Amino acid sequence: MSPDLKFGPFSPNTVHICVDMQRLFGPASAWCSPWTERIIPVVEEIAGRCPERTVFTRFITPERAEHMPGMWRRYYQRWHEVTRGEIDTGMLDLFPRLKRFTPPAAVIDKTTYSPFASGELTAWRSERSVEGLIVTGAETDVCILATVLSAVDRGYRVTIVTDGICSSSAPGHDALLGLYHERFSEQIEAADAAVVLDAWRV
């Protein structure tokens, strides 16, 4: 077993959560994360291993900034061009190469960085008696960060696929990988897709 997976093989109750791999973060978007297209083949391979134990999240923007509370309102006043009142709502879809896995893969929508606020995700996890999460998607230092810390708080074994996550900020990406390694070494593992797939027997 790779030293990157020091807790050994994954339990049968491990699932794959792919965070926000949407056209919203692809080319021609104000929120373009240039690496998203680079990691799609990695996400495809992992989702294809067991699509029925994969969940894709989608970040859904409000119709207008005024529909959001507190600092989210200010946020969407700054990013009004991605609100549903202005954007082509098809941009909220998963990338086509990933959308083909749904179903059996689940799609869960969220309006905040972490998907754990969603009762829908809670129900999906309960049905599968989830013990561990394999994490891919975007962005390392925003929604991945929120997802990972929420999972840690709930006691899950969390494994980040290092070549299956991306950010629009290279410094932010590198800093968070360092944080995951150094500050959460007893709760978070990070390994590349080849190591993860070798350990995920379904």
Percent of the chain with pLDDT over 70: 98
* Partners of residue 134 on adjacent β-strands: 16, 159
CA dist 148 and 158 (Å) reads: 7
Residue of 23, 98, 96 whose CA lies nearest to 55: 98
Structure tokens at 97: 């190469």
- The strand ranges marked E within 1-143 are 14-19, 54-59, 106-110, 132-138
pLDDT value, residue 126 = 86
pLDDT at position 1 over 60: no
Tens-digit pLDDT profile for residues 71-90: 999 999 999 999 999 999 99
Percent of the chain with pLDDT over 90: 81
CATH fold of 14-60+94-199 reads Rossmann fold (3.40.50)
pLDDT value, residue 140 = 92
Contacts of 29 (CB under 8 A, 6+ apart): 23, 82, 91
CA-based Rg of the chain, rounded to a whole angstrom? 16
